[in-house]
A and B are shown apart, each in its own frame.
Chain A
Amino acid sequence: MRVSGLPVLLVLLLTCLLPPAVQAQGFNLKELGKQLGLDEKTGNLFDQSFNTLRALAPIGYEEERALGGALAVEAFQRFGGPYNNQRLTQYITLVGTTVALHSDRADIPYYFAILNSPHPNAFATPGGYVFVSIGLLRLLGSEAELAGVLGHEIAHISRKHALRTLQRSQVLHRVSQLTLSVLDKDPAIFDRLINELSAKIFDQGLDQNMELEADRLGTEYAMRVGYQSTALARFLVRLSQRQERRHTGLFQTHPDPRTRARHLRQVARAPDAPNGRLLASRFKRVLEKSGIRRQ
């Protein structure tokens, strides 16, 4: 197969430079290649490569937030709705916002809520939505541990872990570009994306490597704020010692807590905050004033 240089270069350049909106309107690369003198086989090859590139193209923030918002609705639907406690929600938002402002993706807004579920769990959906169950809050012993848990979820958002799992999705191969307009006009595609992401985030959990990366980064973000670097690992050890059903909540969607704690100890950098704060009494005081009994 002999491929002529100039048409190939032109096709490649156009692929890179075309605005997403034009790509979304069914831009036909095969037809363009034909007009520039490429044979059908080469045209097909470029068309396939173009589709792969397009599927891997980063999803825009507005699309990410639309997916995350739809998944946030699913989170409330599946996990008991919101736990309505103004004082406690304010406190979670203060700790979470502080950690998010010290994360690697501080340029987007983050939203925090408590789920009315007795099972210990925490989730993040793309676009900045972070959830923690009342069951998990009852198990925490300090603000530093809470910061570690929220940091873990913020890391999933900052590293776009859930979105990265979509790159392997067959659904995305059917669309030219994931725009708000595509999501709105094709409810079946939006539905399939929500179902795929829900299964990953709420049922199966993300890949183990992503979870371990979120532990490491979450701890790093909390340390930047000034919290004790060992808090999350300590909580995970305590969690692993609990005698409860291992197929529910955090146990179902995250790797084994002992594995996570061991990994954290191995990868944690030397603490850069010599006076790392635990803030156990402030945490306990807020829970007490909010009428929450710790376990």
Chain B
Amino acid sequence: MRAAIRVGMAALLILFTQGVDARTVYVSRDRAALLDSHSVSGAVVGQVKRGQALQLIKKHRRWYFVATDRGLRGWIYRYKVNSNPPQTDANVFALLGASSNREAISESPSASVIRGLNPVSERQARRRGRSRQVIEAVKRMEQRRIVPATLERFLRQGRLAEFQEGL
């Protein structure tokens, strides 16, 4: 019986600690720069991509000093990383990458073919007699994405996020 309890406890411990690594963070933006200082005026020492795992070495206010698995080290704004890997949608982000030189929001008709309301939700909405217009409105809502350059300009002009004074 004692052996069974020990095995049980070990199994539960493994179950609840699976994948937990407090020092690993994941890039939450499509692309982000690693800088040589904890400020937007720092020089870029490298680029990291969405979902990439980084080792957190130290913190300074809202900046993290991190290392990639290839040994590249630099500072990154803490809200460009997350403790969980992002819920990715490869199609959407591939689309964004292809249109990164476009202005503002991506809302091309082709996007609706790739990304849309979950088919299960759409079938249910049709069963409930919802009009095509409202279903399409949700699909358009899901297709809107911010182009990184537009977001950066918006933040820089407003002196928000990593562009805040005194960070």
Q: Which residues of A contact B (CB under 8 A)?
A: 5-6, 9-10, 12-13, 16-17, 61-62, 65-67, 69-70, 72-74, 76-77, 81-82, 86, 89-90, 93-94, 97-98, 101-102, 106-109, 111-113, 129, 143, 180, 183-184, 187, 190-191, 194, 224-227, 273-275, 277, 279, 282
Contacts and interface: CB of A to CB of B under 8 A. Distances in A.
B110 interface: no
B127 interface: yes
B138 interface: yes
22 contacts: A5-B1, A9-B4, A13-B11, A13-B12, A69-B122, A69-B138, A70-B124, A72-B117, A72-B138, A73-B130, A77-B134, A82-B137, A89-B144, A90-B105, A93-B146, A98-B151, A107-B28, A107-B87, A111-B141, A187-B127, A225-B160, A226-B160
Interface stretch (B39-47, B52-60, B67-75, B78-86): B78-86
Given A70-B121, A106-B28, A225-B160, A94 B154 contact: yes
Interface of B: 1, 4-5, 8, 11-12, 15, 26, 28-29, 79-80, 82, 84-87, 89, 92, 104-105, 107, 117-118, 120-125, 127-128, 130-131, 133-135, 137-138, 140-142, 144, 146, 150-151, 154-155, 157-161, 163-166
Nearest to B84: A107
A36 B130 CA distance: 50
B141 A112 contact: yes
B144 A111 contact: yes
Given A226-B160, A275-B165, A82 B151 contact: no
A66 B120 contact: yes
B161 A226 contact: yes
Contacts of B131: 77
A66 B121 contact: yes
A113 B141 contact: yes
Contacts of A65: 118
A9 B28 CA distance: 40
B124 A98 contact: no
